[in-house]
Structure 1
Amino acid sequence: MEETQTLTPRARVGFEGASLTFESAADPVLTVDQGEHFWLDARSLLTGGLFEETGEYEKLSIPVTGPVAVRGVKPGDALRIDVHEIKIADRGAMVTLPGRGGFTGGLGRSGHVVDIADGYVEFDGDTRIPVRPMVGKIGVAPAGPGPNSSTVGIHGGNMDCKDVTAGAAVVVPVQVAQAMVYAGDLHAAQGDGECSLTAVEVEGSVRLSCTMIPDGGRPVAPLRRPVVISGGSVITIGDGDTLDEAARLALDDMLELLQNDRGWSREKTAMLLSSAADVSVSQLVNARLSAKVSLAARYFTAEPFSLESSNTMNAQVSDA
């Protein structure tokens, strides 16, 4: 997809737009047209210096930035949030805390600051982790009181899906007028599960655009939970009090997407998923857990939630 160059500077929201909730009643920090590119700056554990000055890790939280209002979007729509670019700082941090994490033996209280250079996280000595920047928290405001930014749900939120990288898209069901988009919690690298509690948490900025899915790109089935399009795969996200519950919801959503696309029976569709789809963990360390089901887009007759029939393909782009 070619992007049309314009002379209009891209809008940018700085740290002043940070929020600890996905709140629908908050005043928008920015209002954009569909397809318009904008930057959101994202805070991290290191922002403000408290991480290194106090070591009081329990008191630190990672906010999102927003809300961004998207013109012309209404409840019941499916909103596609495209992640065009992620820029990260050259230092990151990780934390473990007692009673947190996915290990049966538990973990102590510890913090670790790392340098990031030449495409790698300098973890310890000659141990380096390849950088793969991603967005941990992204979504829209739900109807009613705004949930904490660390919560995952039908609005998206703290999915910690490592596939939400530059070039990916997140599709979410809109619940309030103008969607009210939030994003933040950037990671330089993360494994599936984020098993110690955090990934490599970094400051940075993310360039997004938001578009209502046109009728021609919308599946027959209603969108119940977030769907990620990334790396040639379609990824459904489920959340629950247990990983079993989260995985089953993600499976149900993938089955419904593929069945409606192919017109197969429920049983035949399940057979294809059993042979070709991967069920895995997004994160297992927060109060509400998230799981995902990934299926190569080639198994669909057409990629779900495509923008190809949209008239907003030529988005507004200029130098940051």
Structure 2
Amino acid sequence: MSDIETLQPGSGRIPARHYLPTEPGTYLWGRLPSEADVAVLKVSPGEEVTIDTVSHEGILEDQGRDPLGFFGSHGVDPANVLSDAIAIARSGVRDTANDGPHVVTGPIVVDGAQPGDLLTMTVVETTPRVGYGVISNRHGRGALSGEFPLGAGNISVFADVATAVDGTLVGRLPLTEGAERSIRFPLAPFLGIMGVATKGERLHSVPPGAHGGNIDINLLQAGASLHLPVRVPGALAYLGDPHFAQGDGEVALTAMEASLRATVRFELTTAAEATERFGELAGPVAETQDFLVPTGMDTDLDEAVRACVRHAIAILGARWGMAEHLAYAYLSAATDFNISQVVDLVTGVHARIRKSDFSGVSR
């Protein structure tokens, strides 16, 4: 098994001044916060929070709702099973018939945030809390629904973490069940859920939307940011669905899901400045050092692509004054459109616009 230090709640290095554990009163299981929810933490713009996020894998009903038993069956020592995961599994706070699977930590009030402002959440740092994860195919979903799972039951594949020769962390899967030979793939941790609260009732945790939520964009690793229009006073931001790795598409239903300690910075941009930078935002926009990443979402993947293209054209016009027909041509020639995921009821597409292509270009 992996020699990664297990980060139980409150143990180990906590980088930010604010620390948010996932414990009774600080999370929802299967729902996203709404305007009526009471904030569990208040921060000023520019402040950072270290959050102990908890993966839903290992705590669900088809896994026995018993993390000690489930992970123990794969050789994990009880000391390396997270105590907060055990407590959540035993909590009974989820309506299994109507709620999603995700553990969502928050909401967090950002002081001064008003509807129309832009909230930016920047992932400063991510640290694995455990040395293992799970990849599942269940619920009759996934890209090959009807073909997989191959048997009658749901499939949860255990994957452990190893250290490569160069010191980087990799995920490890056997070639066949019980085989000693295994394949290795690089870890690239990120949070699948990043969002802001909405008006009305709490939304289901699975489908993403203009509020963000379960967008599953694997570019949102350490150093990347997500920009979201504020929808209710205080923003009421939340995070969850930690991943160790995910390929674009997330075709089986989940990727390598596992708990992370994530440090996130919260910043605000006024509505007027946000419009100059992004136009009228149609949905979440991610940003990395190299790329602007507009998104498109719809239950129909073709429509999600079209929405993403429209979103990208609008951003090119707002930020650099590019004519629509020329922006359309540029996107076709120079921009990759990637499938974020095809498994969350609402499919997602994101575009990678190279910021360097516009070096020296002003509005």
Q: 1:280 to 1:303 in 2, by over 3 A?
A: farther
- Give 1:292's aligned amino acid: H
Write the distance in 1 (CA, Å) between the matches of 2:214 and 2:361: 25
User: Which segments of 5 or more consecutive residues in structure 2 lack a partner in the other structure?
Assistant: 1-14, 72-88, 90-95, 164-168, 175-180
Q: Is the 8 A contact 1:173 1:224 kept in 2?
A: no
Structure 2 length as normaliser, TM-score? 0.76
Answering whether residue 306 of structure 2 is matched by residue 248 of structure 1, we say yes
| Partner residue, 1:307 | none
How far residue 36 of structure 1 moved from its aligned partner, in angstroms, is 0.5
The answer to which structure has the higher strand fraction is 1
Bigger Cα displacement from structure 2, 227-236 vs 142-151: 142-151
- Give 1:123's aligned amino acid: L
| Partner residue, 1:317 | none
| Partner residue, 1:74 | 114
Q: Is the 8 A contact 1:258 1:300 kept in 2?
A: no
How far residue 97 of structure 1 moved from its aligned partner, in angstroms, is 1.7
Q: Is the 8 A contact 2:320 2:361 kept in 1?
A: no
| Partner residue, 2:162 | 117
How far residue 244 of structure 1 moved from its aligned partner, in angstroms, is 1.0
User: Which segments of 5 or more consecutive residues in structure 1 lack a partner in the other structure?
Assistant: 1-7, 305-320
Matches within 5 A, 1:135-284: 135-214=191-270, 218-219=276-277, 221-284=279-342
Structure 1 length as normaliser, TM-score? 0.86
Deviations along 1:116-136, one digit per CA (max 9) or x if unpaired, are 132011212331111110111
Q: Is the 8 A contact 1:140 1:155 kept in 2?
A: yes
Q: Is the 8 A contact 1:78 1:212 kept in 2?
A: yes
- Give 1:207's aligned amino acid: T
Write the distance in 2 (CA, Å) between the matches of 1:249 and 1:14: 36
Identity rate, percent? 28
- Give 2:113's aligned amino acid: V
Answering whether residue 44 of structure 2 is matched by residue 46 of structure 1, we say no
How far residue 146 of structure 1 moved from its aligned partner, in angstroms, is 2.0
Q: Is the 8 A contact 2:308 2:349 kept in 1?
A: yes
Greater relative contact order (Cα 8 A, min sep 6): structure 1 or 2?
1
Q: How many residues align?
A: 296
| Partner residue, 1:62 | 102
Bigger Cα displacement from structure 2, 31-40 vs 122-131: 122-131
SS of 2:316's equivalent?
helix
Query: Pairwise CA RMSD of aligned residues?
Result: 2.5
Deviations along 1:147-195, one digit per CA (max 9) or x if unpaired, are 1122200000000101010000000010000100011111111000100
Q: Is the 8 A contact 1:14 1:40 kept in 2?
A: yes
Answering whether residue 68 of structure 2 is matched by residue 10 of structure 1, we say no
| Partner residue, 1:28 | 39
| Partner residue, 1:318 | none
